[in-house]
Structure 1
């Protein structure tokens, strides 16, 4: 008879049939050939066997040894009923041990903590959270402890695992200790403090109004705690390194490192207008928003609105503030209006002007309305505002003040736009005409609005029954000095008041007639001066055409050396070496001035021929001024035939006539060279021969038929 050793698996099956799981486990442990999975399988079967026998304490030991091989949910389903909470707690504690890696998930932690709570074993709960050899989801553990009322444990977890948000929530909602929450927030970096205050800032403002406002002001001006992190943990989701670098660069450029944006926290004070006023004022006065542009305009607009609000409340919802809580005092309405005026002037351009104007009108803030109207240069609206005071039957003092303000408004508009003087233009040459034309076309609209203001002012004063004659005389003096309105328009307006005495307007009429007389005399003097100059020019032309020109220069006007042949003499009495001339047909001294005058004349002709400029000047003129513009245009020969310009032409007339050479040398676009006495005989012979042969020098269009004659000459 021969004994043969049975295989390991057969032996184990026999042991399982006999329920000898303990023996099977020891056999497998002694055999090195057995793998770990086989051993874990035996422990599972052993545990199941013990459960079937009701030995739960022993069974949980087997399941604990099988951690890592056996799915935790399998064990949890067995012990999850309320009768075996202690055994389940042991298993879950071991599951959270670090030697098993990260097998425990959020649900396991929640279940374990609930087991502690069900067992009311606060000591084991505290021991569990204080252990260093376990790993779990801290946020989930904090939530479970909060819901169960174990606030000390929750606070400890929040501090240990750096959960500032949970810490603040527990202090506010569970422990009702806002001061401690505010003190804790001051220790955080900008990112964490910003995130927490965005969520719970409204609750903090309701519990500690002043302390929360000061904390937010510090956060938005210069945070004394740690600076902003380079990357925001809430935004570090899975992405490529390139995308992450790009987002990180954008965050660093868009957000300041040591402060937050005040506009992001305005919703915190939605129920506390007084706190919002103090908060925004502190941020604006600190200067951190200077140069912020459109992005910060909402801050300035809101602060200005709070200044103008008549009834500023501590709390809109009428919540009862706990005793001993520091709150801000509500400043008087008059004081806030003064601050609003200062704000409008100091921070001009930072707020929306028209939004501020609408707020001032809504709150019936008259001084603010007038100040904003002046800033926006809405002189017509200012006139309407004061005109209502004249027409609504106010007291004499108010009407007197309104008249003074009306005159002051028109004068300030006049000083801002410059002196309007369409009728009394500067008398001068073509340059003055060119300047006047440009000025008329560019300031037409400004002159129009200014004249309308003064026209309205004069009409208001004439219609007002209690207008003092001194005011009317003063207005007429301004109108006359600046030529704001035509005399005919003024007389028509004055004639609408039958009670107006002649002595009131007598001085105005005399000054206007005297000024017209002076203007007429000035124009006559200008005409005489120009006629005299014209006669002198004609005399010079005749002298050049009929008399011989003597050249007595001994030095070159270019190099100032003694003249030597070849020499070129010009009719303008300038002589040069031929080598010193830039162009043989142009005088070096006179040519620049001739070119400039020719360019100015060409530009003036183009400008006068442009109908757009003419109609712009005509639209900017009024009454008699329009006739002056039309008369001036006729004086510039708008219906004359266009002149033909010939560039680089040596003569203006017959090239064979010496007088034409003289005229060209003196007044043409180019200075012509003089004819020396040695060449006069050859010149006469050439001209005589051309006339005897009957040859024409010019064609019908005025072009030379024989240019070689000029070259030979």
Structure 2
């Protein structure tokens, strides 16, 4: 069938040939053969002249013109020319005289042209010349029918008219010294190798590589095609029959494939080792053909006016080489074509006009890749566009963009399966969210499933994609079974079973996308797909999720317990910690058996496993006794700590200003009975009245609690725990610590008072209210109640009242009244505390005149100031008396300085012996020997009296301070605690 579409992918350009060194136009005649590579187009004339056409570098040269260089390869006649681009050599077959015995291989070394090659003679350097039919090697002289040379130049083949093929190994170029390769010439008969005498004469030869890396030989005869392996001996690979006659052949330039055109307008594509791989429809009888990239160019015998007419033309067709690309890239009548040639990175047509022997060179110049791709996309030939883009090695992004356009077009046409496959090939050009949004509304989710599996295999899938994939599988399951409970066996479109889809996905991605699959299970459960989620969790061996589904979604506690009996200890332990309260109500014995199994397998060095389960079953007294045993040390304290901890945690969660979205259920009471509000009559008889929950507070809802949760009832149960279980010191300490951790001030105050820490409520009351969850604390009542045990409580109480930002003037007056009545603090201490409030004035603490004497704060202040005034007056009187005494002493000193004393002592006042000269006499009229006086030089008789007077006054003054200290110390219940609390006074004395 003839190709259905025709495009214009090539432009024809006439190439002008110009000689070197400013020569004019060049005329080439009687062309017998051509060859080409990326640098040169070689044209061989029958006269033996070899012409090199090339583009000169470094000069302003038109693309429609080629430079020309020629040399005489043979003197008499030239027959064939071959380019060996891998070794930059050129091989020419010809002879220097009329004798066929003089046929030779002339080998030349080719140099690339450059701007420095002013002398064209440097382009070709002669290497060697060797005979074609070497008698020394047993080759028989014959007429040449076909010839081929490998691109590396190491292998050549010549077909003769008698049906023989001569093979030349390492013959065309001289071997270097030490080269392991050996020269070898051999021959074989085509008919003998094919075992068929009707193969016909050899029409063409092609040397192509095999998959093993060796070189093979393709022999095209009139009636058959043979491919041979030449090493070490000739071996027939394939043999194909040509139903009609042979017309032309060419290698495809991509490795081991070649094309054969045969009569009837058909063209077979051969593989060296597989035979015919495809068949194409050509455009008439073919005289010449050449492959270029993904195309094949042919020239037909359909000439207008005959081959010898001056206006004769042939039809040149360039069509896609692949059978999947059914289009013609170029079609045009041009002068009679002699041969096509791949050269200079383009496709050249060598032709002649009518009977003229002059050569005409055309270039079929391919249009830009973007123009060609846009044309194919507009014509909806997406497969062709992708093939061309791949062959041209375009960037991956361009190929993916073509797939994207193709996929969108297929989707609009309703070909969803093909669209999904194109979306998969689009890669980064498509946003997965866009594709998912297109495939999700389809009735069948199999296309969405396949696309998401592709994303997982490419490594670009996220957790969200895994969730969507599982939802697609869930939809497939529900579509197959109408709401599943187990895996169905109904097939989805395409013959794929849902069970197999799930199994394949989990087997491939179950471990690498475990987190995403778990998120998908949560989503399936919340969307009503608990049955599907249970199947997936079981297939994934996700014990935790499987038990969650059984307990929370299906309430199948028996199945959950049976499953826990078969799983490992870790999974069973996790399940008991999460669902133990539900499971123990269903079957306590089974739960206890699982716990004991876990405990028996746990090493003793890791502690007691029961400690982890006590919080779960803290409200199940009977079960706890069975689990822990009656003789378990510390079990009551542990249970009490757990209960008060859970209750405080729940109370804290429900009393926050901003309620949390996750609400905890109310805990039942200890004995399982209904919650009963505690009133002031029976709430807390051993606590102060201000700390007992009142009946009003138990009935009125709190503003900061949740509207649907009885927070007052929860607090009542908490007070029951604090009052009924805190008779021992360790219980009190544990309750105090937990209340402090949860910032529950009322409970902390109660426990502190029970333990005798009377200063702790003051410390908590002095903390910022934003750190506490408390009600108003009656400081004055607290000091009145416990100040007899701790007199220093009044210091902290008065300090807190003074520092408070609110109006506490009435409380300050009451505190001053008690301090004045019972003489609790010294007046300077009270003044120091009052000075800490800069806004406090005398009028703030002033009471009415009707107040009883000594009960008015101003009377207290006046009384204290009066005492100070009296003290000052006493001091002034003492100062006046001291001044009188000093004046008298001054007069005495003056008298002593200007008068004399008569000393009649004859004996020493100390030893009573007679005085001897020298002797010492004092104004006190005492006399002494010099050796009876001490080193201090004072009177031994008078100095003891003076010392006793001085020492007797200081102890008396210090003893007063000691009496005050021990008086306060004796009033404290614990001297050590009293000393520690004295240090806390500094915390209140700071501004």
TM band (smaller chain)? 0.3 to 0.5
Larger Rg: 2
Query: What is the TM-score of this pair, normalised by structure 2?
Result: 0.27
* Larger RCO of the pair (alpha carbons < 8 Å, separation 6+): 1
Q: Which of the pair is proportionally richer in strand? A: 2
Q: Which of the pair is proportionally richer in helix? A: 1
Query: What is the TM-score of this pair, normalised by structure 1?
Result: 0.35
